Amino acid sequence: MIVRFDGRVAIVTGAGGGLGRQHALGLASRGAKVVVNDLGGTLDGNGGTPSAALAVVEEIRSAGGEAIASGASVTDFGAVQAMVADAMRAWGRVDILVNNAGILRDKSFSKMDLADFRLVIDVHLMGAVHCCKAVWDTMRAQNYGRIVMTTSSSGLYGNFGQSNYGAAKMALVGLMQTLSIEGAKHDIRVNCLAPTAATRMTENLMPEAVLKLLEPAAVTPGLLALVAEDAPNRAILCAGAGSFERAHVTLTEGLFVGQPADAVERIARQFAAISDRSAETVPESGNAQGTLEVGKAMRALG
């Protein structure tokens, strides 16, 4: 089976460089019509010029593909709606949304301004919310949609100096969990991609030899698999240097403590048993926690 996107319309945010550019080129090379969105700002989110998006559009067109540019900031819902309206006017549908735009404002938490925290949340989380919201009704009406949120190992596992970025990236996992449930009956599948790649975001963080292995192009096949017709739903796919892994949000079996006077001490004493991963599950929805807890209580109380 060859994965193709003929007849499909894709929007890739932050596609003027780095990973987004590769995603846009990859989609176009397999037949998708692509909206190349990029604000064209600096790594910390300042300034803006449409030239980065236009250059990628030119690259796609000169390879025989179809693309249009958008200089919309994902933080501006009106501009995002206008971008989606442009895609609808040009091609009549939107099948794929890749939420990739992002910035960094790294600082240890003690030194971080709240303004830097809010801005990073605004670009990564609200930017993705705006784009999802702007395409959601169209995807529902089409009974078809594929959405990817770009999360990060910084959100999944933490990283010094990235409390704002990590919080925003993990919030995208939460957004994915619920949208994937709500979209299922309209065949809207929502997944997360956690990339590792040598881009301007990471160029100062790693030695040259490592950066060479971490070409953004090595991540893009993972993205394409997540937006293909037979894509999974609710997956968190990790991708870097040509390797792919999955991350899961799991729940241990735990144990029933009840409400004895020494419940606190019992929990403290049995923390290892509560944490035991041998019977852990990946819940299908948030209800699973309550179901597990009530079930254990009923069994224990008899």
Which residues lie below 8 Å from residue 72, measured CB to CB, with a gap of 6+? Answer: 37, 39, 79, 80, 82, 83
Q: Alpha helix (H) ranges present in 143-162?
A: 153-157
3-state percent helix, strand, coil for the chain, nearest multiple of 5? 45, 15, 35
User: Are the CB atoms for 194 and 247 separated by under 8 Å?
Assistant: yes
Which residue number, 32 or 83, has a Cβ lying nearer to ligand NAI?
A: 83
Task: Find the shortest distance in angstroms from Cβ 210 to ligand NAI.
Answer: 11
Task: Find the shortest distance in angstroms from Cβ 172 to ligand NAI.
Answer: 9
* Local structure of residue 291 (DSSP, 8 states): H
Return the sign of the alpha-carbon dihedral for residues 167, 208, 213, 28.
positive
Return the sign of the alpha-carbon dihedral for residues 210, 104, 122, 159.
positive
Task: Find the shortest distance in angstroms from Cβ 7 to ligand NAI.
Answer: 26
Task: Find the shortest distance in angstroms from Cβ 183 to ligand NAI.
Answer: 21
Task: Find the shortest distance in angstroms from Cβ 132 to ligand NAI.
Answer: 14
Among 9, 12, 20, 179, binds ligand NAI (CB under 6 A): 20
Which residue number, 27 or 144, has a Cβ lying nearer to ligand NAI?
A: 27
Among 5, 12, 18, 68, binds ligand NAI (CB under 6 A): 18
- Paired sense of beta strands 96-99 and 236-240, if any: unpaired
Strand-pair partners of 245: 238
Identify the three-state secondary structure at position 75: coil
CA 172 to chain centre: 6
Tokens 């956690």 correspond to 194
Can residue 65 be called a binding residue for ligand NAI (CB under 6 A)? no
Report d(CA 206, CA 199) in Å as an integer. 11
Can residue 171 be called a binding residue for ligand NAI (CB under 6 A)? no
Can residue 101 be called a binding residue for ligand NAI (CB under 6 A)? yes
Among 29, 202, 252, 270, binds ligand NAI (CB under 6 A): 202
From the list 70, 99, 165, 194, the catalytic residue is 165
Can residue 220 be called a binding residue for ligand NAI (CB under 6 A)? no
- Contact segment (CB under 6 A) with ligand NAI among 96-104, 131-139, 231-239, 256-264 equals 96-104
Annotation says 144 is catalytic = no
Q: Please count the residues of the chain.
A: 302
Among 17, 26, 145, 183, binds ligand NAI (CB under 6 A): 17
Identify the three-state secondary structure at position 196: strand
Can residue 183 be called a binding residue for ligand NAI (CB under 6 A)? no
Site string for ligand NAI, 66-85 (x = CB under 6 A): -------xxx----------
Show which residues are catalytic: 165
- Applying CB under 6 A, which residues contact ligand NAI? 13-14, 16-20, 37-41, 43, 45, 52, 73-75, 100-103, 123, 127, 150, 152, 195-197, 199-202
